[in-house]
Structure 1
C-alpha cells in the first residue's frame, strides 16, 4: 500500500491552508473592515480544525490500522473530519456567539469535504501505485535484457578462446586471463543499474584485448573521451555489444572503429562509428523497432528505449554510425 511521503504531506497541508485562507479572505472582504481580527482568528482555527487536524488524524489512523479498503477506510476518514468540524463549531461559537452549529449542521458541512478529500487521496495513491508498478516492470525488463546479453557475450568469447587452445596455447592463456577479468567485472556490476563511463571503458578494453588477440592488426579501435565525462553514469555493458556488432558485420580489413564520448552538462553523448557496409535500409527505416538485428545490438536498443531521457539514432556515414544521448548523473 502506498502512503504519502513527508514532502507530499506538507505540500497537502500547505494547499489546504491556502484554500482555507482564501475562503477567509473572501469572508473578510464581504464583511468590509468590520470584524477583521475575529475573521483572521476564525480563519486560523478553520485551517487547524477543518483541514489539518482531520487530515493528519485520518492519515495516521489509516496507516496505523493498515486499512486499505474503502469500505473500512472511508468511515474512519468521515469520523475524523466530523470530529474536526465539531470542534471547529464549538470554537466558532466562542468567537461569534450568535453562531451555534448543531450536530446535524456539522455533519452536512463535513460530509462533502471528507468525501472530496478522500476521493482525491485515493486517486493520488492509486496513481502512485501504478507508477511504482510501471517502474518495477521496467526494471524487471531491463534486468531480463541484461541477463540475455551476458550469455550471448560469454558464448561469443568462448568461441574465440576455443579457436586458440590448440593453435596457440600462449594466446589462449592470455585470452583466458582477459576473459576472466571481463567476467569478474560483469559479476561486480550485475546488481548495479549504472556504472561510471570510466568503469565501462575499462571492461570494454579487457574485451577488446580478447578481440585484438584474435584479429591482430586487422582491428583498429580509437577511443576519444572528454575527461569530464569519465564519471558520468550509464548502464553496464552498453558499449561492448555496439563494438561487437561493428566487428561482426565488417566486410573489409582492417576493421576501423571510432568511439567518441562527450559530456554536455547533464547529458552524455556517445558515438560508435565503423568503416563497414553500414546498416540495411530496413533497419534504418525502423530504427531497430521490429527489424531483424543481432542479439547484442537488438538488446542494447531495447535497453535504451526503456530508459527515460535516452535517445539512440542509427545512420550511415562512411559506415555504420550509432549516436546515443543519455541524461545521466555524474560525480
Structure 2
C-alpha cells in the first residue's frame, strides 16, 4: 500500500494533470477564437473529460504503486516485459472506454471524428506525466529504503561494538577487584569477609545491568558508594569521597558502569596516604557530571594501556553521541561526562 504522503502526491498530481490536459477546452468560450470555430463549448462534456482523466490518472497510480499488488508485482520481480505490456493494455482499455462513453453521453457533437484523437492526446499526455511522477515516487521509495537499511546496519554495528566494549570491561573490572581483594586479605584478614560481601553487591549490579545500556544516575551513585566502601577498607583514612548531586539530576540516564572505572583509575594511579589522602569529588552542573580526583603521583607508576578511559569514551560516543572531556592540572585530574536528559 502507498503511505499518506504518496497518496497525497498522487491525488494532487491527478488533479493537476487533469486540469492541464482539459484547460484548452476553455478556449472555446471565446466566440471569435480558433477553438470556437471547431468546438462548441459544453460544460458537461468538459466535466466528463476532466472526471475520466482524473480516474485514469488515479488508476495508473494505484496499479503501479501498490506494493506487491497490481502491476507493481511484475516490476518488483523484474518482469519488465510483462509490466510494460499490461500497462499498455490498461491504457488501450481506458482509451476505448473513454471514446465509447464520450460518444454515448454526447451523441450530438459537431465533430464526432475528433473524439478518438482528442482522447488519445489527453490520455497519452496524462500517461507520460503520470509515468514521470511514478518514477519519482519509486526513486523516493528506494532512497528511503536505502536510508533505513543503512541505519539498520549502523545500529547493528554499534550494538556489536558496544557488546564488545562490555565484554572487555567486565574482565578488566574483575581483575582489578580480585587484585584489591588480595591486598585486603593480606593487610586485614578480618575485613576480607565484609569486603567479599560488598564486592558481591557491586558485581550483582554489574551483572544485572549488563543488558541495559543506560541507567539512572541514582543507580550509578548507589553502586559507586558500595564500591567506595571497598576502597575505604583498603585505604582507610587515605581516601575521601564527596558527592554533591542535586535531586533533579538523579533520574538522568548515563551508560551503565560509567563511574566505577573512573574511581578505579583514581585509586590505581595515585599514591594516597593519611597525610595526602585521595580526594574524589562528584558534582553535576550544566548537563555534565564532573568527576575530579586529587593527584598524588606514584614514584614508579604501573604500566597502563588506557583501556578504562578509552572504553568509557567509546561507550559515551556510541550511546550519548558525545565524548567525555578529560583535563588535568598540577593538583587535579578531571573527567566531564555528558548527561542525557
Which TM-score band applies after superposition, normalised by the shorter structure? 0.7 to 0.9
| Residue of 288, 310, 330 corresponding to 2:322 | 310
Contact 1:277 1:320 in 2 (8 A): no
How far apart are the structure 1 equivalents of 2:227 and 2:305?
21
Say if 1:314 and 1:106 are closer, same or farther in 2 by CA, change over 3 A: same
Aligned match of 1:296: 308
Aligned-pair distance for 1:168?
2.3
Contact 2:68 2:76 in 1 (8 A): no
Say if 1:200 and 1:176 are closer, same or farther in 2 by CA, change over 3 A: same
Structure 1 spans left out of the alignment, 5+ residues: 1-5, 279-291
How far apart are the structure 1 equivalents of 2:93 and 2:64?
10
How far apart are the structure 1 equivalents of 2:244 and 2:87?
64
| Residue of 141, 144, 164 corresponding to 1:124 | 144
Aligned residue runs from structure 1 range 131-280, under 5 A: 131-252=151-272, 253-262=276-285, 268-276=287-295
Aligned-pair distance for 1:181?
0.9
Contact 1:223 1:260 in 2 (8 A): yes
Aligned match of 2:65: 55
| Residue of 9, 12, 17 corresponding to 2:11 | 17
Task: With the length of structure 1 as denominator, give the TM-score of the two structures.
Answer: 0.73
Deviations 1:235-281 (A, max 9, x none): 1011111222222222453111111134x6xxx42111122269xxx
Aligned length: 300
Aligned-pair distance for 1:173?
0.9
How far apart are the structure 2 equivalents of 1:323 and 1:125?
38
Partner secondary structure for residue 281 of structure 2: strand
RMSD: 4.0
Say if 1:111 and 1:46 are closer, same or farther in 2 by CA, change over 3 A: closer
Partner secondary structure for residue 310 of structure 1: coil
Aligned-pair distance for 1:79?
7.6
Q: Which has the larger Rg?
A: 2
Contact 2:57 2:126 in 1 (8 A): no
Aligned match of 1:288: none
Partner secondary structure for residue 327 of structure 1: coil
Partner secondary structure for residue 324 of structure 1: strand
Contact 1:218 1:254 in 2 (8 A): yes
Contact 1:82 1:107 in 2 (8 A): no
